[in-house]
Every structure is written in structure tokens, then in C-alpha cells.
Chains A and B, each alone.
Chain A
Amino acid sequence: MSLARRKLLQLIGLLGAPTVFLLVFFFGPLLIMLVYSLLTPGLYGGVDWIFSHLNYGRILGWADTRYEKFDPVYIAIFLRSLKLAALTVVASLAVCYPAAFWISRMRPGMRDFAIFLVTLPFFVSLIVRLFAWVLILRPTGFLNQGLMGLGLTGAPIEFLYTDFAVILGMTYVFIPFMFLPLYGSIEKLDLAQIEASSDLGATRFQTFRKVILPATLPGIVGGSVITFIPALGNFIVPSVLGGAKVLMIGNLIEQQFLSARNWPFGSALAMLVMSAVLILLIAQFRLAKKEAQS
């Protein structure tokens, strides 16, 4: 057996099984979901194999079957999810950027330990971390006890089941996602450039805007994308901290599968989320490529 042939056989041996597995159980399901999004829901929760575009029509606002009555309720929920995810990204940036800056200035030993401490909660059960916030935000929770103890408020404030709680919860659970890319680019900052900028008479703010910000932009973009994506389709955080009042697209999808039993419509909604994610990824990819060229 020739060497080239033996190498080819080895390669097939390594790639073959995992590739087939992923083709069948990763791409297969996504493909079937696409097909389902174009089918008609059956009477008792199943599907009828009749192709239709009504599911997408319904998302766009025509909830009736004849495209007459216009009510963009689903688009509104989608936009709301985009808004909450975007606010989560902004909050994460505000929380993580200064912290990453601080940690990048530590002694090497301390620094590694600090980074370990930031990433550790990622491995702590998501549901445990969200439960902790329920304890804090509840009407009888620690936050309200503290506020009332200080006399800042007479009656408990309803923090739980608000947009605020959902954004706070998502910011909290996605901290490692935002922190690590940010830290990666802040660590690489050229200190000489910052000094040169202030030596040349730039104010701190000017130095930040003209030197530090552009240099750390890749980390900002990377962290934002990787936080935005899981925030957009999230349904656990809004379920635990948002109650029934804060509905996101993820909750809507869950309902279609577990209570409304309208799988084709749920699939169409999931296609919407997936498209948004893919568009974002392609945009980021293009941007990175352009930057690499210039």
C-alpha cells in the first residue's frame, strides 16, 4: 500500500464516523426544522404534509389564513428580544470593560488567578446562578430588605418579573462570554502608545477614544456577538426572572412546542432566530476579514 493511500485511509478513519454523526444529528435536524416551518399544523398537535408559507406570513403579522388582518404581535416580540439582547450587551460591556482593564494591570500570578475567578461561574450551574438572583430580587429578598433597612423605600419594590431583572440576569450569566474576548484585546494594548498619546498632550478621554478604544475594538465586537447570540434566543432567564410578563422569542418558541403544540409555527420562529444569528456571524466574519486586509 502506498504512503499516500495509507494516509488517506487514516484520514477517513479519523473523519468518517464523527462527520457522519454530525451530518445526521446536527445538520439533519436543522434541515427537518426548515421543512417543518413550511408545513401545516395538524388538528391534534401533529403536522399535515401540506406545504404552506402561512407560518412565515403569521410571523410577519398576518395571523389569519387569508392575509387580511394585520397585527405584528410576533414581530413586536422579536424586536423586544433584540432590544433586551442589545441592552444586555451594553450592560455587559459596562460591567466587564473596566474589570478587564483592572485585571490586565495585575501582577502575572494574581492576573491568572483573577481570570480563573471570572471564568469559574461559567461552570456553576446556570439554574443555581439564576435562583440566587430570585432570592435577591424577590419582594422579600435581600435587595428590598436592604433598601427598606436603609429607609430608602417604604414598601418593597417589584424587581422580579421586570425587564430590568431579565437584563441583569442575562448580563450576570454571560459575564465570562464578554470578559474573555475583551480581556484578550485589552491585554495586547501597547502601553507605549498610551503614554505617547498623553505625552503629546491628549486628555485621558481623548487617549481613550483615539487610542485605547480602536485598539480594543476587536474584543468589543467579539464579546458583543458572543453575548448577543445566546441572549437573543434565551428562554430560561426570562422564564425564571421575567415571569409571564417578560416574553422573549425563546419563550414563544417553547410555548409552540410544549403547550400550543404548533410545531410548524415554532419551527418558523426558530428559523427566524437562526437567520438573525447567521446574519450576525457573517457580518462579523466579513468585518474581521476586511480589517485583516487593511
Chain B
Amino acid sequence: MILRRLLSLYGLLFFVFVYAPILLVVIYSFNANTLNMMIWDGFTLDWYRQLFGMETSLTQSATFVDSTDQLWGAVRTSLIVALSTSVFSTVCGTALALAVARYRFRLARFYRTLMTLPMIMPDIVLGIALLIFFITIGMNLSMLTIIIGQSTFLISYVFVTVSARLAEVDTSVEEASADLGATPAQTFRKVTLPGIAPGILGGWLLAFIISMDDLVITYFIAGTGNTTLPIHIWGLLRRGIKPEINAIATLMLLFTLVIAAAGLYFRSRRQK
């Protein structure tokens, strides 16, 4: 009994450990103290106003110079990259998963093992390898190189997510559809695709979130002028710690939570 209580106490502490740091960032993004961001000095929305370019009572020294335009530029770049990368990776990953799960061929097992490699490869190794590659073949670093680079490992994430779903879907329905005279294209569109749609959607969301957050690989292959959001914040952190970062972090948190909630919603609908 005592052991059980101790375990419960430990479990609660575990969740404090996981969430307290994140909550601190959120709470202190509303702190009015401009001199010492660690000491609470009343509630303010100034840090958010600053981010949206509105009038604030903040002094110049409290904020990063000119950061608002750069911030929204970075958000734009991140969204374009994440959208392109996630769509491309979803198409490729789904195609691979379908091939491996629904066709019998000699390399199927080999593919399964191989597809884990891009996920497990340390990102710094992949990042510099891509940098060397792009420079060697004479490709200028641009948004395109970021999209290509991120896709190399995001395809694997989609592959795994869709494969898991494919393994759950009953193949006998597909066979029945074919027996009843549906063409392969019809079977795919009316039976297979609806069955694995939640997996595809989940893989796409996963790829989107990971792409939005990718720092290391993008860091090496972004070149100048293609700052994504994580790289922008990375740069801010190197220039100093200012409360503005709390507000940016809180907005990012909100964005992630909305996407995660959407993913969860679709998953619960699937189970019904």
C-alpha cells in the first residue's frame, strides 16, 4: 500500500517535471516586468502586441530590434516548407507502404528495414551529408533544398504510420471487392483508400509538425535568406534571452496543441 502511494506520488511528480517548464514559459509570457523577466510584475499583453506590430509601452531595449518582420517572414517560410514537405512525404510514404503491404515481392522485407534508417539517422549526420551533397552537385541552397532534405526522413515517418494502419485493415474486404467485379482502381478508391485514410491523415499531420519544428537538418541546408521559425528563434536565443521569446513560444505551443487535438479528434472518429 505504501509502495502504491509512493508510486502515485512519483507519477504526479513525473507530470510536474514534464509540464512545469512549459507552463512557466506560458505564464511568464504575460509578465509585465521588462527589466527582470523572472520576477512577476503584473499582467500584460505587450509581448504579444509587440509580435503583431501593435502599439506597446515597451522600450527599445526590452525587445529584439526589428524582429517582428523577420518573425513573420520565418513563419511564412516554415508554413510553405512544412506544407510542401508534408504533402510530398505523404504521397511517397503512402505509395511505399502500399507497395510493401499489398504486393508480394522479394525486397519487401528489405524495404521495411531500410525505411527505419532515415528516422534513426542522427540528424546532424544527415544535415551535413545533405549540405555536402547539394554543394557538390551545384544546387543553390534554397527553400527547395529544405523541402528535399526534410522529405528524406519524413517519408519514413509517413511510411511507418500508414503501414501500421494497413496492417489493421482487413484485406478480405479488398478481395471481396475484386471478386464482385470492381476494377483494381475502383477497389483502391472505394475500399482501400477510405480504410487507410486515418493513417494517411495522421502521417501527414505528423510530417507537418516535425517539419515545422525541424532545426538541425534545416539549419545546415537553409542557406541565407530562408530562415524558418525554429532557426529564427535559435538566432534570437543566441542574441540574448528576452521575454519576447516567451510569447513566441506560447503561440507555437498553441498552434501545436490545435494540430495535435485535430489529430486526436480524427483518431477518435476512426475508432467509432
Interface residues of A (CB under 8 A from B): 6-7, 10-11, 14-15, 17-19, 21-22, 25-26, 28-30, 32-33, 36, 95, 98-99, 101-103, 116-118, 120-121, 123-129, 131-136, 138, 140-142, 145, 172, 175, 204, 226, 229-230, 232-236, 240, 250, 253-254, 257, 263, 266-267, 270, 273-274, 277, 281
Evaluate contact between A253 and B38: CB separation under 8 angstroms: no
Q: Please, how many angstroms separate the alpha-carbon atoms of A89 and B126 in the complex?
A: 23
Kindly list chain B residues whose C-beta atoms are within 8 Å of the C-beta of A124.
Answer: 22, 252-253, 256
Instruction: Given A145-B38, A236-B216, decide whether A204 and B3 contact each other with a Cβ distance below 8 A.
Output: yes
Q: Please tell me if the beta carbons of B118 and A142 are within 8 angstroms of each other in the complex.
A: no
Asked whether, in the complex, the Cβ of B133 is within 8 Å of the Cβ of A25, the reply is yes
Q: Which residues in B have some Cβ–Cβ distance to A below 8 Å?
A: 3, 7-8, 10-11, 14-15, 17-19, 21-22, 24-25, 28, 36-38, 92-93, 95-96, 98-99, 103, 105, 117-118, 120-126, 128-133, 136, 148-149, 151-153, 155, 184, 209, 212-213, 215-216, 220, 230, 233-234, 237, 241, 245, 249, 252-253, 256-257, 259-260, 264
Please state if B260 and A125 are interface contacts (CB–CB under 8 Å): no
Most B C-beta atoms less than 10 A away, residue of A18, A134, A138, A232:
A18
Q: Which residues of B contact A138 (CB under 8 A)?
A: 38, 241
Contacts of A15 in B (CB 8 A): 95-96, 99
Contact present for B253 and A128 (CB under 8 Å): yes
Which of A17, A26, A250 counts the most B-chain CB atoms under 10 A from its CB?
Answer: A26
In the complex the two chains form, what is the Cα distance from A84 to B36 in whole Å? 33
With A124-B22, A230-B123, A233-B122 already in contact, the answer to whether A257 and B128 are too (CB < 8 A) is yes
Q: Given A127-B237, A135-B24, A142-B24, is A36 in contact with B132 using a C-beta cutoff of 8 Å? A: yes
CB of B183, distance to nearest CB on chain A (Å): 11
Q: Could you give 26 example pairs across A and B, Cβ below 8 Å?
A: A21-B152, A25-B130, A26-B153, A29-B129, A30-B129, A32-B132, A95-B17, A98-B14, A102-B14, A121-B19, A123-B213, A125-B213, A125-B233, A126-B213, A128-B22, A128-B233, A131-B25, A131-B237, A131-B245, A132-B22, A132-B249, A138-B38, A142-B24, A233-B125, A270-B128, A277-B120
The 3 closest A-B pairs by CB, nearest first: A233-B122, A132-B21, A29-B133
Are A10 and B21 interface neighbours, CB within 8 A? no
Taken together as a complex, chains A and B put the C-alpha atoms of A236 and B217 apart, in Å, by 11
Which residue on chain A has the smallest CB distance to residue B134? A29
Q: How far is the CA of A101 from the CA of B245 in the complex (A)?
A: 36
B125–A175 touching, CB < 8 Å = no
Q: A99 to B213, Cβ gap below 8 A?
A: no
Is the Cβ of B38 less than 8 Å from the Cβ of A121?
no
A224 to chain B, nearest CB (A): 14
Complex interface: chain B residues within 8 A of A132 (CB): 21-22, 24-25, 249
Taking a contact as CB atoms under 8 Å apart, the answer to whether A266 and B128 are in contact is: yes
Say whether B10 contacts A273, CB under 8 Å: no
CB-CB under 8 A for A121 and B22, given A29-B133, A98-B10, A267-B132: yes
- Name which of A124, A136, A235 has the most chain B CB atoms within 10 A of its CB: A124
- Chain B contacts for A274, CB-based, 8 A: 121-122, 125
With contact pairs A128-B252, A134-B241, A270-B128 given, residues A25 and B22 touching in the complex (Cβ less than 8 Å): no
Please pick, from B117, B124, B133, B249, the residue contacting A125 in the complex, using a CB distance under 8 A.
B249
When the two chains form their complex, are residues A11 and B256 in contact, meaning their CB atoms are under 8 A apart? no
| Neighbouring A residues of B245 by C-beta, 8 Å | 131
Contacts of A30 in B (CB 8 A): 125-126, 129
With contacts A124-B22, A277-B122 taken as known, whether A25 is within 8 angstroms of B151 at the C-beta atoms is yes
- B130 / chain A contacts, CB cutoff of 8 Å: 25, 29
Question: Given the complex of chains A and B, what is the CA–CA distance between A124 and B209 in angstroms?
Answer: 9
Q: How far is the CB of A1 from the nearest CB of chain B, in Å?
A: 12
Q: Find out whether the CB atom of A253 lies under 8 angstroms from the CB atom of B15.
A: no
Residues of A within 8 A of B11 (CB): 98-99, 102-103
Contacts beyond the supplied A117-B19, A140-B38: 17 A-B pairs with Cβ under 8 Å: A15-B99, A18-B155, A26-B118, A30-B125, A33-B125, A123-B259, A125-B252, A127-B237, A132-B24, A135-B37, A140-B36, A233-B122, A234-B124, A236-B216, A257-B128, A266-B128, A267-B128
